[in-house]
Amino acid sequence: MAKYNVVFVLGGPGAGKGTQCENIVRDFGYVHLSAGDLLRAERQRPGSQFGEEIEGHIRNGTIVPVQITCSLLRRAMEDSGKNNFLIDGFPRNKDNLDGWNKAMEGVADVKMVLFFDCTEKTCIDRCLNRGKTSGRSDDNLESLQKRIQTYTNSTMSIIEHYKKMDLVCELNGENSPDK
Ligand SMILES: Nc1ncnc2c1ncn2[C@@H]1O[C@H](COP(=O)(O)OP(=O)(O)O)[C@@H](O)[C@H]1O
Ligand SMILES: O=c1ccn([C@@H]2O[C@H](COP(=O)(O)OP(=O)(O)O)[C@@H](O)[C@H]2O)c(=O)[nH]1
Ligand SMILES: [Mg+2]
């Protein structure tokens, strides 16, 4: 049996992944790892050789190469000393999926995928609203349009892949956070 249990949490930008992961942590005691947060922290780390590359992808709504993201996730898992993880915002494309499968086979089992389904309009409205205080370089209309495009063109097929494996639990992202 693999050492780690993983639930992937997917959905468009602003679908509520981070919000619901916090709720799940509060009620069920998983460790929440946001791939985006880990990448933003690595971007800020003095001496990081990946800072500029990460910032370019974030601003453009494109996806950072899996070697970088998967190493950050794996290190965070090891450093936590825990076994059950919510991995939020990953895998986002086929490169992510293939890289994860290669690196984590026998190390982590994907038990389930939580998919927050949300309309484009809600996603955009929420991220623009979040942008008023988030300070994020990608919570603006131009970046958001690219992020939605990446989500439609690259991430949806990953959700489909896990649907075929019968691992997806689909939730309505339009609901209130409590519901
Ligand atoms: N169900 C919801 N209804 C209304 N606003 C929400 C809901 N879920 C999250 N939000 C707000 O929308 C923004 C994006 O939510 P977040 O959890 O960061 O989404 P994601 O991680 O999927 O981008 C945040 O400002 C958050 O407070
Ligand atoms: O596995 C990941 C997760 C995030 N990102 C980058 O980080 C950005 C922000 O991701 P995050 O999940 O924080 O955004 P959210 O969907 O929560 O708004 C994405 O658009 C990508 O550019 C990435 O390249 N790989
Ligand atoms: Mg998030």
Average pLDDT over residues 40-57: 97
Confidence band, pLDDT 50/70/90 cuts, at residue 61: very high
CA angle 112, 31, 8 (to 5 degrees): 25
Which residues keep their CB under 5 angstroms from ion ligand 3?
A: 17-18
Confidence band, pLDDT 50/70/90 cuts, at residue 141: very high
Q: Check whether 58 has a pLDDT greater than 90.
A: yes
Pairing of strands 4-11, 31-34: unpaired
CB under 6 Å to ligand 2: residues? 13-14, 17-18, 34-36, 39, 57-58, 61-64, 69, 89-90, 92, 96, 138, 147
Residue 107: which residues within 8 A CB-CB, separation 6 or more? 2, 3, 4, 74
* 89 CA distance to ligand 2 middle (Å): 6
- Closest residue by Cα to residue 91 from 151, 144, 48, 139: 151
Average pLDDT over residues 117-136: 97
Please work out whether the CB of residue 65 comes within 6 Å of at least one atom of ligand 1: no
Ligand 1 atom closest to 179 (CA): 1
User: Of the residues 8, 9, 17, 19, which should be mutated to test ligand 1's pocket, given the most ligand atoms within 8 Å of the CB?
Assistant: 19
Average pLDDT over residues 26-52: 96
User: Token digits for 13?
Assistant: 């930008």
Q: pTM of the prediction? A: 0.98
* Kind and range of the H or E run holding 85: strand 84-88
Q: Check whether 1 has a pLDDT greater than 90.
A: no
Q: Check whether 137 has a pLDDT greater than 90.
A: yes
Confidence band, pLDDT 50/70/90 cuts, at residue 2: confident
Q: What is the ipTM of this complex?
A: 0.98
Please work out whether the CB of residue 13 comes within 6 Å of at least one atom of ligand 1: yes
